[in-house]
């Protein structure tokens, strides 16, 4: 099923942490799955991948990135290992300047190739620039 790319980024207007969530499976291997959109100047503050069924076979990892003022397929997390059930936290927020984009940003997740089973949920937490401070 093709993603609904016509949906704009959500701004609920209360200055609270918001969450993008998307299910991925082994069938999504090597495909940039759209997790959702964030408004311009949003700050990614956490997240990860909640593995509910272990990814087996091939290269069982996933990256979380974005399409915004630049494109980086692993801008938030690179090679998160998905071989155990549980929550694997985003690993690149402390070492990157990709945390905030100046334009509306599409968050993506790309599971690595070759898995024969696996299911997980991508979770990305962010705050917006509203109210301006």
Q: Give a yes or no: residue 7 inside a domain.
A: no
Indicate if the pLDDT at residue 3 is higher than 60.
no
Which pLDDT score is estimated for 1?
43
Residue 38 lies inside a defined structural domain of this protein: yes
For residue 95, the model assigns a pLDDT of 75
CA–CA separation, 61 and 51 (whole Å): 11
Q: List, in order, residues 6 or more apart from 131 with CB less than 8 Å away.
A: 13, 15
pLDDT for the residue numbered 59: 84
Residue 6's pLDDT band (cuts 50, 70, 90): low
pLDDT band at 15; cut points 50, 70, 90: confident
- pLDDT tens for each residue of 70-110: 899 999 999 999 999 999 999 888 877 778 888 999 999 99
Tens of pLDDT, residue by residue over 18-69, are 999 999 999 999 899 999 999 998 999 999 999 999 999 888 999 999 998 8
Asked if 27 and 72 count as a contact pair (C-beta separation under 8 A), the reply is no
| Cβ-count burial 30-43 (b if 16+ within 10 Å, e if not) | eebbbbbbbbbbbe
How much is the pTM? 0.86
What is the residue range of 32's domain?
Answer: 18-126
CATH assignment of the domain containing 96: 2.60.120
Residue 84 within a domain: yes
Name the domain count of the chain. 1
Q: Which residue has the higher pLDDT, 5 or 38?
A: 38
Does any domain span residue 90? yes
Give one DSSP letter per residue of 57-110, joined into a string: SS--EEEEEEESSSEEEEEEEEEEE-SSSEEEE---GGG-STTB-SS-EEEEEE
């Amino acid at each position: 099923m093709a993603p609904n790319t016509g949906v704009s980024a959500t701004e609920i207007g209360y200055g609270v942490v918001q969450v993008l969530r998307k299910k991925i499976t082994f069938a999504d291997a090597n495909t940039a799955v759209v997790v959702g959109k964030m408004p311009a100047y949003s700050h990614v503050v956490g997240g990860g991948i909640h593995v509910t069924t272990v990814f087996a076979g091939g290269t069982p990892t996933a990256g979380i990135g974005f399409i915004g003022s630049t494109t980086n397929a692993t801008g938030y997390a690179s090679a998160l290992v998905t071989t155990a059930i549980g929550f694997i936290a985003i690993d690149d927020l402390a070492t990157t300047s990709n945390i905030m984009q100046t334009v509306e940003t599409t968050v993506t997740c790309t599971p690595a190739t070759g898995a024969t089973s696996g299911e997980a949920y991508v979770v990305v937490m962010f705050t917006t620039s509203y109210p301006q401070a």
